[in-house]
């Protein structure tokens, strides 16, 4: 397997930027090295896939707006018949492939297809409100809430991991563009860069 | 602002969606060689005023194809459901 390289590798030495008042209210960066799997369910295969993954993942969530969190993993129902599994043991993909009947569903590794960005700080919500058309009021978008949406006309998945911290799973091929748009929106608040941050 | 009630993701801004055409048009039978039927299906469009059914795809969300009730004269949006359930549900 080829070496995994960040789409933002050339930005590691970015100095960050002070905000309008001279402070840096945000930390923006990338999380690398995290497992990201997509579980796809074929028509008529829902019961068999749910039974197959039960010992490995627990019950698949019904919610399409709130991630299920268990054993250090997040599971998100991203479409009617698709789930994302974030985190977990290194051999999880192989075990899921072995467990799921080929005619009922499939597993796709997306680590190389997405760049996992994060933005953290008291101004994080204000920055994201400038970029996406999703209501981030904590009463509506709580911790572990998620939404597939777009930044600058490019799709991605927004996940709230703490009160002042959000992650955005950007398409790798558009990661640099998304990154630049994010930094541009954060300029008034000031930011420091954290690239890359390893998380397993 | 036009907001569309995606059956999977909930109420979302229309900028996340792609308009995909008239959901009331009847597609010619698969394998049909009636060139006039295909010509009318592909190239000729009505321009209805009032309540209408349309296909939309939630391209920046769940990628699902939807049928949406929309009034073309007021932009009032009604129900939406998955296109796989049929153009009339």
Tens digit of each residue's pLDDT (9 = 90 or more) over A72-126: 899 999 998 999 999 988 899 999 999 999 999 999 999 999 999 999 999 999 9
Mutation target among A149, A156, A159 for the B interface, most CBs of B within 10 A = A149
CA distances A30 to A13, A81, A120, A187, B39, Å, are: 13, 28, 11, 18, 51
pLDDT at position B89 over 50: yes
Counting as low any pLDDT under 70, the low residues of chain A are: 1-2, 196-200
- Rounded CA-CA distance A26/A67 in Å is 24
Q: Are strands A36-41 and A191-198 parallel, antiparallel or unpaired?
A: unpaired
Asked whether A46 and A182 are in contact (CB, 8 A), the reply is no
Test A79 with B63 for CB contact under 8 angstroms.
Answer: yes
Cα-based torsion angle of the residue sequence A136, A78, A111, A180 in order, rounded to the nearest 10 degrees: -30
Q: How many other β-carbons are positioned within 10 Å of the β-carbon of residue B59?
A: 17
The whole-number pLDDT of residue A200 equals 42
Residue matched to tokens 């748009």: A181
- Rounded CA-CA distance A100/A95 in Å is 9
Nearest to A79 among B8, B15, B59 (CB): B8
Residue B5 at interface with chain A, using a CB cutoff of 8 Å: no
The whole-number pLDDT of residue B1 equals 76
> SS3 of A111, please?
coil
- Rounded CA-CA distance A71/A89 in Å is 10
Domains parsed from chain A with CATH numbers: 9-33+113-198 (3.30.1360.120), 36-109 (3.30.70.1520)
Question: Which superfamily is assigned to B3-26+34-85 in CATH?
Answer: Folate-binding superfamily (3.30.2270.10)
């Amino acid at each position: 397997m080829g070496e995994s390289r960040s789409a933002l590798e050339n930005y590691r030495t970015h100095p960050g930027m002070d905000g309008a008042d001279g402070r840096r209210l945000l930390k923006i960066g990338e999380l690398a090295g995290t497992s990201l799997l997509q579980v796809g369910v074929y028509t008529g295969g829902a019961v068999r896939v749910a039974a197959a993954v039960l010992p490995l993942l627990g019950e698949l969530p019904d919610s399409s707006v709130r991630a299920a969190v268990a054993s250090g993993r997040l599971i998100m129902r991203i479409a009617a018949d698709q789930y994302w599994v974030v985190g977990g043991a290194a051999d999880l993909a192989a075990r899921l492939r072995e467990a799921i009947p080929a005619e009922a569903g499939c597993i796709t590794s997306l680590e190389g297809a997405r760049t996992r960005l994060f933005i953290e700080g008291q101004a994080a919500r204000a920055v994201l409100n400038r970029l996406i058309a999703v209501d981030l009021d904590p009463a509506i978008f709580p911790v572990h809430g998620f939404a597939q949406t777009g930044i600058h006309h490019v799709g991605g998945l927004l996940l709230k991991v703490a009160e002042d911290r959000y992650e955005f799973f950007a398409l790798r091929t558009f990661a640099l563009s998304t990154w630049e748009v994010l930094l541009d929106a954060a300029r008034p608040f000031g930011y420091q860069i954290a690239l890359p941050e390893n998380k397993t | 602002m036009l907001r569309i009630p995606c059956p999977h993701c909930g109420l979302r801004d229309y900028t996340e969606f792609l308009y995909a055409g008239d959901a009331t048009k009847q597609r010619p039978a698969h394998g049909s060689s009636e060139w006039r039927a295909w010509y009318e299906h592909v190239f000729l469009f009505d321009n209805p005023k009032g309540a209408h059914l349309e296909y939309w795809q939630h391209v920046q969300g769940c990628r699902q194809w939807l049928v949406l009730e929309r009034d073309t004269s007021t932009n009032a949006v009604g129900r939406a459901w998955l296109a796989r359930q049929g153009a009339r549900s």
